[in-house]
Each structure stands twice: as C-alpha cells, then as structure tokens.
Structure 1
Amino acid sequence: KYLILICCYISSVWAFSDEAIFEDEDIYNQALPPTPHTGITAPGTKWCGPGNTAANYDDLGRERETDKCCRAHDHCEEIMESHKSLHGLPNNTDWFPMLVRRGKINNTFSQVCFLIYRLKCSCEQQFINCLQAVNTMTSNTLGRVYYATRSKCFALGHPTTSCKQYQEGTFRKRCIRYTVNKSTAKLWQLYDMPFYTTGVAAR
C-alpha cells in the first residue's frame, strides 16, 4: 500500500514542475499588431505609444535606442487584437483610457481611449530586455507605465496548474513562476506579465 503511494508521489513529482515564462531574474527579488497612426507617442519617440508617428521604418525620434525597442515591439510576429481570438484564446479586453495633453499653454487634457492588444510573451520578454538595456529615464519610465497597465501575454506551454511564485505590486500581484503539468501536451494559454524593474541607476 505504502509502496503504491510512494510510486504515485514520485510520478506526480516528475509530471509537475515549475516554469517561468519571463527570464529576468531581477523580478524575483523586487516587489513592486502594428497600431494605427494616432499621433500620440512618448516624448522624444516616434514608435512608443498607442500608435506611431514615424514616416517609415527607419524614422526614429531623438530617444533613438528607446524608440528601437518600441519599433521592434510594434512589429511582434503575433498580436492578438481586442475582441478577437488567436490560437483559440479570446481577447476580451476593452478600451484603455489615457489622459492626453492638448493645450500647451493652459495645460488642458482630454481623455482618449485605445484598444488593448495582447502580444506573444517572447515579444514582451524582448521588450523588457531592450528597455532595461537602454536604461535611461525615458526607457525605464516607459517600461513601468507599460507593464503596470498591461498584465497578460500568450505563449505555447505545458498546462499551468497553479502559481508557484508571485511578484508583489503596489495594489496587486502577478504570477511569475507557474507549476505546470509536463505529462500533457503543450497548449496556447495566457500568462501574467511581470511588473517592470530596473537593477541599476538610469543613465
């Protein structure tokens, strides 16, 4: 009887293991489709925002290195549009409100809403790595804002069964390491994205 139980336990240990979709080790130690031309981008960039203002692929703003990160991110190979499905996964996210400065003299603001897209997790990983490598005030501010407002990405992986480790944010937490069942086939599923962190002071 006990031998059977031990064998069952060993089998379950081999079948279930932990898996992290994002590779940045800093997140474990700290709490915390190409879009249309909307004309709204982060200062000094032409690709960083709900849209882009670039005349062509090679057109970059004065924050060139940060802009390159956003350009690559905008050209992710797989993007799930709002209220559509991809790989059998629905994207039920709606509009994301944002205050946009309209008046340069009297500082008037208007609320503009943008549809939320979901990207492949590998593209989100590359975006984090790129912004952290640039490591300027612009890139780090952009990273914090983006990953605070976007919470999910999609990837092909073994089915998740539970969360093994959370990253604490100011008001909520996100899963950064999952327990997965490796005895079953991989499938497309949604994963939490980590909050953006920086390991060293910005340049």
Structure 2
Amino acid sequence: MASSASAWSIKMTNDEELSNFISQDDQKKSLNVIFPGTKWCGSGNIATNYDDLGKSSGTDACCRAHDLCSDQVEGGGTAHGLKNKAPYTRLNCKCDIEFFNCLRNEENQEETAKLVGVIYFDVLQTQCYKYEYPVVKCTQNVLKRCLEYEYNTTADKSWQWFDVPLF
C-alpha cells in the first residue's frame, strides 16, 4: 500500500543564510533559529539595528513588531498572575492578532509570510493571553485547538491563556 507524506523544505541559497538560520549564542548556550530571508523571524534576531531587515522585508517587519510587543511573558516567567510553562515567550493576544493580520497582508507578496504564519500559528500551536471574562467552554474546536469560546459574562474578568488562531 503506497502512502504519501508532505514535509517542510527550506532552501538555503548560500552559507550566510545557513549560518543565520542556525547560530549558537555563546552567552545563553541556546540554539537560535532565524527563518531564511529574515533577521527578526525566529528565536531572537540577528539584526544590527531596528531598521535592519532581511530580503523578505515585509515579513521581517511583521516579525520585528511582534518581537517588540511590550506585553509578553518569557518562557518560565510569570506576568498578570499567569505562569508561562512553555520554553518560549508568549505574548498578549493583541500582539499575536496584529502579527497574524500583518503576515496575512504580506502573504500575497512574499511566500515567506505564509510559511512563518503556518509555523508560528499552526505548527507551534502556542497560546496567548488576554483579560477576559472566565471561559465556560470551547464552542468551536479544530485540530485540538479552541477557536471560539463561551464566556461567563456575569463574573469578573481575569487574565487567561487562549489558543492562537489557525493561519
């Protein structure tokens, strides 16, 4: 019986792109992964300054804005009474929605935008947080992700984790 499988393929055009994609941070001793053609899309950034963008400049600008979100919780950190148990930073849902919309606006011009969106929103399956009425239940579930919630609007709002949308 034959089967087919699809896999992600990222083409590196030169040694510089390969070294930028995976670079060792000597101080943190952690693996930094930057998406090819960008300087801001991935863990951290390799930009020399705020205006330094990669070849996929529209996508990179989206990632830069996302990276600079002022309301975020680092991996293992706590904010707004929420503990981030993930090994990576999670952001306020407002920032993730702005990132989502920015990538959607760029995806017709740059294929990179769609790939970054799919990896961040669909593959990573992260969560964001917001100040909202308590969740009663999930009313729309897709691929083990809650896309719509029912809230108890008679109770006080509180900070809570929410699944990010599918790209």
TM-score, with structure 2 as normaliser: 0.77
Secondary structure of 1:59's partner? coil
Which of 129, 147, 165 is residue 176 of structure 1 equivalent to?
A: 147
Distance 1:150 1:177 in 2: 15
User: Does residue 165 in structure 1 map to residue 137 in structure 2?
Assistant: no
Q: How many residues get paired?
A: 136
Which of 112, 126, 132 is residue 138 of structure 1 equivalent to?
A: 112
2:76 counterpart residue number: 83
Alpha-carbon RMSD: 1.7
2:125 and 2:163 in contact (8 A); partners too: no
Q: How many Å apart are 1:40 and its aligned residue?
A: 3.5
1:38 and 1:53 in contact (8 A); partners too: no
User: Does residue 153 in structure 1 map to residue 128 in structure 2?
Assistant: yes
Distance 2:32 2:80 in 1: 31
Q: How many Å apart are 1:120 and its aligned residue?
A: 0.5
Ranges of 4+ aligned residues in structure 1 off by more than 3 Å: 36-40
Distance 1:55 1:166 in 2: 41
> Greater relative contact order (Cα 8 A, min sep 6): structure 1 or 2?
1
Q: Which runs of 5+ in 2 are unaligned?
A: 1-27
The 5-angstrom pairing of residues 56-71 of structure 1 reads 56-71=49-64
Q: Which runs of 5+ in 1 are unaligned?
A: 1-35, 95-115, 197-203
Letter in 2 for 1:120: N
- The farther-off stretch of 39-48 and 70-79 is 39-48
- Identical aligned residues as a percent: 40
CA displacement, residues 142-187 of structure 1 (integer Å, 9 cap, x when unaligned)? 111111213211000000010011123xxxx210111101111111
Distance 1:158 1:40 in 2: 36
Distance 1:53 1:66 in 2: 15
Distance 1:187 1:195 in 2: 24
1:39 and 1:53 in contact (8 A); partners too: no
Q: How many Å apart are 1:41 and its aligned residue?
A: 1.3
Letter in 1 for 2:115: T
